[in-house]
Amino acid sequence: MAALLDRVTIDIWNEIIDATITLAKSGDARARASLAGYLVGKPQVEAPTPLAVIVQRISGSDQLVNELATPAIYRAQWQDKEDAETDNANDTIRAKIAAELAHRIDEK
* CA–CA separation, 19 and 69 (whole Å): 47
Please give the residue that has the higher pLDDT: either 20 or 55: 20
Is residue 45 situated within a structural domain? no
Is residue 76 situated within a structural domain? yes
**30: domain range?**
2-39
What's the confidence (pLDDT) of residue 29? Answer: 95
* CA–CA separation, 68 and 62 (whole Å): 10
Average pLDDT score over residue span 52-64: 77
What's the confidence (pLDDT) of residue 84? Answer: 44
Same-domain status, 26 and 65? no
Is residue 44 situated within a structural domain? no
- Number of structural domains found in the chain: 2
Is residue 79 situated within a structural domain? yes
34, 39, 44, 47: CA torsion to nearest 10: -60
With 0-12 / 13-18 / 19 or more C-beta atoms within 10 angstroms meaning exposed / middle / buried, residue 89 is middle
Residue 56: pLDDT band with limits 50, 70, 90 = confident
Is residue 75 situated within a structural domain? yes
Q: What is the DSSP string of 33-48?
A: HHHHHHHT---SSPPP
Mean pLDDT over all residues of the chain? 81
